[in-house]
């Protein structure tokens, strides 16, 4: 008797602004082979419409932000694994999920997997899609300490143990926190350069609050997750780096600085500092959480 197919709960998040992309992404999920999937489409301030009958709809009355929207869909799907897909992303390979899950099963030390992201029209992918300081080839796989959140796979028990996506962030840096907390569970976050998700190249600054939330959430990330000794080192290193960047391109500096101040004066939510043994593991793996 053949082994049962792995089960995957899938959360697709949308505001309903890209119906063609949404339909493409959902179709790519329903076309997956070798897995049994349970899909929910979460409308963030929107009532999902015209969905395939296999897909559950969840309408949130207002836009609660990206991480909270993803979290809202989790209780509605069943599965040993959880996969999160943005509404403008899709999976070109119908064996993507089965291949990715086989990787997790073969290497149980991996607690989170992010694929390589490719624009389907052939536009060159931005380097920020490779979640490493030393970017190298996008096809090179390895341990990472942040993730591009648009296509992420985890065992469900690991996701639950991390506490899920950080609702408070609304947008930006929730993927760094999730990766750090996976490492804190004794697992590794993994960038799979040989597995592909499609996503168009779009400027991050299309979000009106990009600069403010980028700075606020960077401070919140440290306050929520780092041992007290490392908080000023982490925030200080990123502040210095950002100001060097602003010397070349000053656009957004005022909004960024306002967000930086807000990060110290506002409540970041629950604090769950990393264990020092996790800091040591991350350091040995090449990325101490101070940069």
- Provide the domain count of the chain: 2
Alpha-carbon distance 213 to 268, whole Å?
Answer: 12
- Whether pTM exceeds 0.85: yes
Mark whether 187 and 86 lie in a shared domain. yes
Q: For residue 261, what are its two tokens? A: 């101040």
**Is 291 inside a domain boundary?**
no
Mean pLDDT of 270-285: 97
Q: For residue 116, what are its two tokens? A: 């390589």
**Is 165 inside a domain boundary?**
yes
118 to 131, 145, 179, 199, 275: CA distances (angstroms): 14, 20, 21, 6, 35
DSSP state of 125: P
pLDDT reported for residue 247: 86
Mark whether 127 and 263 lie in a shared domain. no
**Is 2 inside a domain boundary?**
no
Q: Which of 146, 168, 202 is the last residue of a domain?
A: 202
Alpha-carbon distance 257 to 270, whole Å?
Answer: 24
Q: Which of 202, 232, 261 is the last residue of a domain?
A: 202
Mark whether 134 and 259 lie in a shared domain. no
pLDDT reported for residue 207: 56
CB neighbourhood size of 89 (10 A): 24
> Which of 156, 29, 168 is CA-nearest to residue 87?
29
**Is 13 within 8 Å of 26 (Cβ atoms)?**
no
Helix (H, G, I), strand (E, B) or coil at 90: strand
pLDDT in tens, 158-177: 999 999 999 999 999 999 99
């Amino acid at each position: 008797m053949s082994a049962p197919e792995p089960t995957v709960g899938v959360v697709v998040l949308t505001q309903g602004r890209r119906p063609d992309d949404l339909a493409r992404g959902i179709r790519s999920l329903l076309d997956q082979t070798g897995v049994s999937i349970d899909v929910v489409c979460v409308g963030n301030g929107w009532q999902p419409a015209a969905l395939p009958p296999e897909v559950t709809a969840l309408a949130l009355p207002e836009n609660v932000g990206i991480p909270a929207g993803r979290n809202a869909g989790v209780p509605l799907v069943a599965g040993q694994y959880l996969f999160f897909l943005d509404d403008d992303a899709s999976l070109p390979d119908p064996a993507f999920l089965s291949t990715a899950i086989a990787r997790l099963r073969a290497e149980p030390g991996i607690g989170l997997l992010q694929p390589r992201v490719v624009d389907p029209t052939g536009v060159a992918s931005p380097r920020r899609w490779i979640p490493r300081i030393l970017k190298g080839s996008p096809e090179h796989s390895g341990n990472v300490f942040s993730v591009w959140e648009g296509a992420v796979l985890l065992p469900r028990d690991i996701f639950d143990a991390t506490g899920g996506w950080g609702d408070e962030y609304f947008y930006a840096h929730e993927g760094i926190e999730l990766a750090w907390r996976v490492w804190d569970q004794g697992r590794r976050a993994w960038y799979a350069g040989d597995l592909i998700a499609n996503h168009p190249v779009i400027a991050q600054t299309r979000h009106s609050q990009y600069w403010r939330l980028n700075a606020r959430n960077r401070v919140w990330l440290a306050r929520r997750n780092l041992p007290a000794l490392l908080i000023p080192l982490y925030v200080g290193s990123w502040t210095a780096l950002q100001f060097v960047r602003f010397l070349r391109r000053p656009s957004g500096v005022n909004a960024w600085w306002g967000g930086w101040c807000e990060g110290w004066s506002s409540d970041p939510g629950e604090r769950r500092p990393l264990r020092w043994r996790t800091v040591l593991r991350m350091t040995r793996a090449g990325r101490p959480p101070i940069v």
